[in-house]
Amino acid sequence: MRWMTLGGVVLALAGTPTAAATRPVGVHVVWLEGAQADRAQLDAFFQCLVGSSNLAEFWDGQLVFHYRGSVVVPADESLTLAATPAWVERQLAAGRLPPPPDGEWPVYLVYGDAPIAEGACGRPLAATVAGKKAGVAHVRVSPPCWPGTQLLRNETQIGMHELVETVDDMLGHAPCAADGACEGALACGDVCGNFTGLSCPGAPLQTFTGCDGTPVDGWVVQRLGRGGRARANCDACFACEFTVGLAGSPQPQGCGCAEGGGPLALSLLLLISRRRRLSASLVA
């Protein structure tokens, strides 16, 4: 606030508005022992996604991401998503996970073989961990969600998918921005182009997505749609307008995103999305 005097009257002048604080988000990958064959490659992927891509632009400057690395912990095949916040607290108490810095929202992506995702490919959840706001998600490693593809193809795209929807859930949005056409739901039309590639040092030259016979350059990622933040759109084929790429990459003018089509039948959506949410609107 600035002050000035005009005719003996003190006036208060508003200064330049201060930009809203940017919230740091720490991404932690937690491998259940036995599933970690791709640990080194996935570390390289998340370092690229978090440190070198434009992913944070999907939240329009609200967030800044940090990759906090990966750990391997004893497997627990009975672990459910609802029980995961308390389970993470036990891992923190045992010293298996690093404590998050003050003010940072931690997101714990737990990778493991079936049945960790309880019949789905992945599941997100906003939660409270050790008294602080956090996010947890499960990502299934094996069997792969896209049959006939490399495990790493599934680990990158589905890991990114669950990260995005967990963060949106923490912000109070519906956790659906990576669903529908964006994740290759064939009922939405010509959707295979919504799987795209991300390349940094250490990335594969190309990876087949399993959606069609066309590979992408680097690791497999996917497009996102802000329309999925409205709960009414979770069962719809909304537009996938945001393309993840290296920071500074322009958004393509024509993304080929399928949109419209209205709500899908619930049973069909469960089949093509290959995942379940905790939302009461989706029941297995």
Domain range summary for the chain, segments of one domain joined by +: 23-273
247 neighbors 52 (Cβ within 8 angstroms)? yes
Query: Vertex 128, ends 138 and 74: CA angle to 5°?
Result: 45
pLDDT at 135: 98
219 or 262: which leads in pLDDT: 219
Of the pLDDT bands very low, low, confident and very high (cuts 50, 70, 90), residue 20 is low
Asked if the model's pLDDT at residue 264 lies above 60, the reply is no
Helix or strand or coil: residue 27?
strand
- Neighbouring residues of 136: CB distance < 8 A, sequence distance ≥ 6: 81, 84, 85, 88, 107, 108, 110, 124, 125, 127, 129, 166
pLDDT at 54: 98
Radius of gyration of the chain (CA): 20
Of the pLDDT bands very low, low, confident and very high (cuts 50, 70, 90), residue 166 is very high
The token pair at 263 is 């709500």
62 or 10: which leads in pLDDT: 62
Q: Per-residue pLDDT tens for 34-54?
A: 999 999 999 999 999 999 999
Q: For tokens 């370092």, what's the residue?
A: 47
